[in-house]
Each structure stands twice: as structure tokens, then as C-alpha cells.
Amino acid sequence: MSRMRMFSAGVLILGLAAGFSTGFAQPKRVMSQAPQVAEAPIPAEDAAKKNPVKPTSEGMAQAKKLFGYHCAMCHGKDGDGKGDLAADMKLELKDWRDPNSLGKMTDGELFYIITNGRGKMAGGEGDRTKEQVRWNLVNVVRAFAKKAAAAGKS
């Protein structure tokens, strides 16, 4: 190999080594340091919606079943906010058994969140669940606090 080729190869190797070392020396960006983006407020027209679905045993049973499949992994089977996935993701969710946890939220706001998702709740039930079932999910969420109050736990 000629001296010129050896010199060029040496420069290339040094350049690559310098690139690798500076690449590894760069501080890693931690996800928790990412700026928090404020969520858009729920539109007033959605928040003002009234629940047109009265709780029935059949409707509540259907919604509770759906809750068990899609919601309980985060929100807990009894609405305590301590589902397995929430624990794994280190999420602090509201305990819906406490009447104060949702006391200031309208049924329309709950319906909007169930439909569209919120925060780390990617997507919602809007594109896979009928509207009546989503309103029944609002009834189920509200029922957690009523059940706890009846049991004297609030």
C-alpha cells in the first residue's frame, strides 16, 4: 500500500473514531424532560351535551363488559385508577369511586373523552363503539361513585 493510501485510510479511521466518540458523548434526551403540551379544552358544545341514555340493566351490563375489555387495564376493574397498565406506565389516574373525582365534569365531557381519548389515552371508542354504548359507559363511570357512596366508602 502506498504512503498516500495509508495516510488517507488513517485519516478516515480517525475521522470515524472521532464521530463515534462525539456521538456517544452527546447527552441523551430523556422523555420526561420533553416539554409538556397543554391539551386543548373540550369544546363547549360537547361539554354541554346531556346523556340521552338512561341506565338499564341490559345497557349497563353491555357497557361494563366493554369497560372490562378496553378500560379496566388502566382505570381498574372497579374504577379505582389502579389498573395493571396504569401501574406499568406509572400513571396516576382518578379514583372514580370518589364522587369528587368527577364531580365537576359534565356527562358531555366524559362522553367526549370516552369517544376521543385524552392525554395518554390514545384514541377512544368513537370509531369502534356505537354512540349509545358510549353513553352507557358514561353511566358506568358515574355508577362507580354511586356504588362506593352506597357502600359508605366515600
Q: Could you report the per-residue pLDDT of 103-119, keeping only the tens digit for each?
A: 899 999 999 999 998 88
- The CA–CA distances, whole Å, from 57 to 76, 128, 133, 139 equal 21, 22, 13, 11
Q: Are 52 and 107 in contact (CB under 8 A)?
A: no
Beta carbons within 10 angstroms of residue 70's beta carbon: 16
Q: What is the pLDDT of residue 1?
A: 53
Question: Which of the pair, 124 or 70, is modelled with greater confidence?
Answer: 70
What is the architecture of the domain spanning 44-150?
Answer: Orthogonal Bundle (1.10)
d(C-alpha 17, C-alpha 13), whole Å: 6
Region 27-51 average pLDDT: 72
Question: pLDDT category, 120, cuts 50, 70, 90?
Answer: confident
pLDDT above 80 for 15: no
Torsion over CA: 142, 43, 113, 129 (sign): positive
Instruction: Quickly tell me which residue has 369511586 as its cell.
Output: 97
d(C-alpha 9, C-alpha 128), whole Å: 60
Beta carbons within 10 angstroms of residue 116's beta carbon: 15
Region 6-10 average pLDDT: 44
Helices assigned H by DSSP within 30-130? 44-47, 57-70, 72-75, 84-88, 107-116
pLDDT above 90 for 14: no
d(C-alpha 71, C-alpha 121), whole Å: 10
Q: What is the pLDDT of residue 37?
A: 58
pLDDT above 90 for 67: yes
Mean pLDDT of the chain: 79
Q: What is the pLDDT of residue 121?
A: 81
Region 18-37 average pLDDT: 44
Sequence-distant (6+) residues with CB within 8 A of 28 are none
d(C-alpha 142, C-alpha 153), whole Å: 15
Q: What is the pLDDT of residue 18?
A: 43
pLDDT above 80 for 90: yes
**Cell numbers found for residue 74:** 388502566
d(C-alpha 128, C-alpha 118), whole Å: 16
